[in-house]
Structure 1
């Protein structure tokens, strides 16, 4: 831990104390968030559109802040609750589904959502296309359809073969729906080692599959009404790989703007951690005391070298890693608890009961929904509370 780290977390703790916060809380540092937005924008090539991933930034005020900073009206949404809430709160946005949904969800959307909501439905199979076309006829609505294509992740979607071409032909023949683009997600590329050229091979395969899909759907850049087709790709792990718009004309990203630990990669090293879980330390005890060892004479629980304090936090068992005070570790041998999580620490850790322990989430999409309103930290103070969406898959 550097002196700057210590100073940062001391300011964060003082801000939480001043705000009267005394329970586990998700904190976003707005200055770091804004710096990440500028870094992100600086890496986008000319002409590349940006679609905000709502599941990774699951708060209307947070999404609105990012929209203002990036001047985008495109969102990617992953469940019915968010789809409807965003349509009501932001009627001007265009929402692309990030995963195909059962046709019953689309039926519920058209029952409950504003009639002028702009949605592109994601279709991954011929069978789902038939279901959505039947729904359009049943409800007398017109659907915008984007085909999910498999560019190497192998998680479903159309392969670039005759089935895709036939689905496109059926869509073109319909007077109830329009083809509005393609979506090919490829997070596997960032996980490929560069050894033996595996990452380059995966990138080449993804590009070739995408171009083949464009050919099979006879894509041109614009529709008859002058709107651009959607050629969507990437996510936070891979957006840096796109230096031009020859394959795709928009990238999706969300988590990189708050940078959980899963995004500590070589491609994203110039982004800053901007989200933390602050949890009070309820108990700080000398010694490592684990139930059962009282009866084992001469036996002590195995602990990291130098650890001689036991800490129990308010809550726990989050997808997160402790980062401050330095040296604190989750005691995996003792087991995790959602009520009082046991941590261990070196003797010299200056922690007292009710002090905060800070964790970094490993991801944002599930973790951000577990703490109620987000505490927004700026200029040494908690300046706002941002409500989050209802928890949903």
Structure 2
């Protein structure tokens, strides 16, 4: 092969390689600044004098989501609001009134202690088994109002060992403890998974007069993400309901006439509650628990919640704007990195960060995977199409609500172009 031909081939290969890399480059994202909606929220925050990371709730979307949930339940199931996903008394007020319920599901001792004082007429079900030390602390603490744990509170247990601990506590208190039994309906994250354990639990309840069987709880978050090759969500729900039904039948047979006339049969969760609609009237459960669907974090963008609206955002101001993205130690690769991905061209450092959240507005922002995360000054990147300046607001969408909502102090409530209220969050200690 002569030299000219070799150069021609090598040149062609080089051009092909460049063309290939160019074709694989992502397109520059972004359409300038905020949409009209987020521009309105930003203006409202400025008018109200906010200057740091803030959690914002859209009141209209929150209320609309509550109406959507109520419409799906259609009176076939009672509704129990999940406090961990809506950790604010004001949030719980809005939802409980909008959905006409006094039923609350609680997952942690600090929330339980606050809620029994704030909602003395509530019906509370624990959403997970608490250590016996937490139960002891609850009864040792003074309570205000007229909340009666022996009538209004159900402790969740999922093993004979846990129930033995609660039985000893009931004896020491000389007080009735209502016991709800968690059953494994397919999630395999605890819960009674066999007839032998259930029989042992029921037997202990029968022997201990200060324990009262109150019902069952079966959580099925796995069902919403069950792939079609395994039968899909509908089949997973059907399997779970079959398990649920068998546990109920076993309890009725074992307890006989002692089986209560009124029991709590709790099921579902935000990802799956709509899947229960076809089973209305035939399902062994009688109430549905949900919370996150009412604010719809990004982690709940799933088909079963397609009609719900996002109602919660994190707002944070831009502290610094840089026209390039430099990675410490490899500054010489700044230009190549920017060419390979035009969406890394600009850098914006915001106040705070490292939340369980995704950039939402302006469109086109992303977290840099090489630079690293920061809870003090998070870097966000954007192409030249993204228009932001220092002191402008960036909006992120939480991927969950339960831990994220507690990180910002009071919640700013947005309604029709204004911040209309501040809602304190529940204390978690």
Q: TM-score, normalised by structure 2?
A: 0.86
Asked if 1:28 corresponds to 2:65, the answer is no
- Residue 284 of structure 1 deviates from its aligned partner by 1.2
For 2:88 and 2:244, the matched residues in 1 are separated by: 32
Shift of 1:16: 0.2
Instruction: Find out whether 1:107 has 2:139 as its counterpart.
Output: no
Structure 1 residue 296: deviation in Å?
6.2
- Structure number with the higher helix fraction is 2
Q: Secondary structure at the match of 1:218?
A: helix
- After superposition, where does 1:318-337 map in structure 2 within 5 Å? 318-337=355-374
2:3 alignment partner in structure 1: none
Q: Which residue of 2 aligns with 1:61?
A: 90
Q: Which moved more, 1:45-54 or 1:349-358?
A: 45-54
1:271 aligns with 2:305: no
Deviation string 1:170-204 (CA, Å, 9 cap, x unpaired) is: 21232101101000111100010123524343223
1:116 is aligned to 148
Relative to 1, partners in 2 of residues 1:4 and 1:209: Cα closer, same or farther, differing over 3 Å?
farther
Root-mean-square deviation (Å): 2.4
Q: Which runs of 5+ in 1 are unaligned?
A: none
**Preserved CA contact (<8 Å) 2:318 2:349:** yes
- Work out whether 1:215 is the aligned partner of 2:252: no
Matched, 1:171 2:210: no
- Per-residue CA shift, 1:295-320, capped at 9, x if unaligned? 66986468633442110000110100
Comparing 156-165 and 358-367, the one that deviates more: 156-165
1:346-385 alignment to 2 at 5 Å?
A: 346-385=383-422
Q: Which runs of 5+ in 2 are unaligned?
A: 1-29
- Matched with 1:46 is 75
The structure-2 alpha-carbon separation of the partners of 1:88 and 1:336, relative to structure 1 and needing over 3 Å to count, comes to same
**Mean alpha-carbon deviation: is it higher for 237-246 or for 253-262?**
237-246
Partner of 2:380: 343
Map of 1:188 onto structure 2: 222
Q: Contact 1:160/1:212 (CA < 8 Å) preserved in 2?
A: no
Q: Which residue of 2 aligns with 1:390?
A: 427
**TM-score, normalising length: structure 1:** 0.94
Across the two proteins, how many residue pairs are aligned to each other? 391
1:111-146 Cα deviation digits (max 9, x unpaired): 115362421000110011111011000111110100
Q: Which secondary structure does the structure 2 equivalent of 1:382 belong to?
A: strand
The within-5 A match list for 1:65-144 is 65-114=94-143, 116-117=148-149, 118-144=152-178
Cα distance in 1 for residues equivalent to 2:387 and 2:428: 36
Partners of 2:236 and 2:337 in 1: how far apart?
A: 49
